[in-house]
Amino acid sequence: MNKTVIKVLYWATTGLIAVGNLFGAYAYTSQSPQVLEGLAHLGYPGYLALILGPAKGLSALALLYPKFPRLKEWAYAGVTFNVLGAGLSHLLAKDPNFATPFIFLVLVAVSYTTWRKLEADKA
């Protein structure tokens, strides 16, 4: 695949992930009614928003900041676990929108794969 195409895919998917996580960080940390209702619907306590909110914000920053590749690896892992947990929670709660987190997971996979290709080209 062309290096330019890989860069475009990387930045497009990483940008979507970062923006989604920054919005999520704000919504969760501010404990918006939609977030609290969603957590309650899934059977989770409201205080989980105060744990996930900052983690979402920090993961977005780690994905965008190029200096610490190990931190970026951990951010990708955290986002993956978060999205898998969300998808499975919605699926088990019989939520009709259960597929949305799994679509987000595809974005994470494309972002991670293209980032690794770009890193390999540097070496």
Indicate if the pLDDT at residue 35 is higher than 80.
yes
How many Cα atoms within 13 Å fall on the side-chain side of residue 123? 6
- DSSP-based three-state secondary structure for 99: helix
| Main-chain phi, psi angles of 20, to 5 degrees | -60, -40
What is the domain extent for residue 84? 3-121
pLDDT at 1: 80
Indicate the number of domains in the chain: 1
- DSSP-based three-state secondary structure for 31: coil
In this predicted structure, which of 14-23, 70-79, 92-101 has the lowest mean pLDDT? 92-101
For 36-84, how does the pLDDT look when each residue is reduced to its tens digit (9 = 90+)? Answer: 999 999 999 999 999 999 999 999 999 999 899 999 999 999 999 999 9
The single-letter code of the amino acid at 37 is: E
pLDDT at 12: 98
pLDDT at 122: 84
pLDDT at 97: 87
Chain centre distance of CA 62: 11
pLDDT at 111: 98
- DSSP-based three-state secondary structure for 98: coil
